[in-house]
Structures are given as C-alpha cells and as structure tokens.
Amino acid sequence: MKYIIIDALLNGTGIRDKYKGEYIDPCSLGLSNAIIIRLNDWLSDYWEEHYNGYIDGTLIDTLDQEGRRIAISIQKELPEMKVEYFSDARMTSEMI
C-alpha cells in the first residue's frame, strides 16, 4: 500500500510519497483532470498566501478546508492509497 501526503509546500506538485519524500506527478497517478485542475489552483492560491506571510488566518482556514476536500477526492479516486493532509501554514497533519 502506498502512502501519500497532500501538501502545498513551495515548488512541489501537491502530492508526495510519505516515505520516500519525493513529489509525485499527479498525472502519473491516473487522477481525473478535474482533480488535477483543483489541485493546481489550490497550490497557486496557497503559494500566494505563503508569499504574503500567512497573515490571514481566515484565508488559511479556507485553503486548508479546500486542501482536505481535495485529499478526500483523491482518496475516493485512489482507494488503494492511504492519504494524509499536511497544512503548510499550520504545520499540522491528519489522516484522511
């Protein structure tokens, strides 16, 4: 079983292998185009807030909620994988 982490760390793909630490190309996992687009949009928004210094707590909460929804969607499309969500701004993680 493969364990993946959904995160918005800078210059990542949004999906990384939990044990190898390497980022995974979302297209290589067979995810739907809709999820890949959501993931890329979310990454862009999260990175923008990173560059703003994570000063807007409400926006961070909204971004983390969307990240969790994306992680849940990925879990549904890839039921053979264990999925974890990591909040870059809050430095917390949770299993999905």
State the Cα–Cα distance between residues 44 and 33, nearest whole angstrom: 17
CB 85 within 8 Å of CB 5:
yes
Say yes or no to pLDDT of 1 above 80: no
State the Cα–Cα distance between residues 50 and 67, nearest whole angstrom: 15
Task: Assign residue 16 a region (left: φ > 0; alpha: ψ between -120 and 50; beta: otherwise).
Answer: beta
> How far are the Cα atoms of 55, 59, 61, 76 from residue 16, in angstroms, in the given order?
26, 24, 22, 17
Q: Which tens digit of pLDDT belongs to each residue from 12-65?
A: 999 999 999 999 999 999 999 999 999 999 999 999 999 999 999 999 999 999
Tell me the mean pLDDT in the region 5-10. 96
Domain ranges of the chain: 27-95
What is the per-residue pLDDT for 64?
98
Which pTM does this prediction carry? 0.94
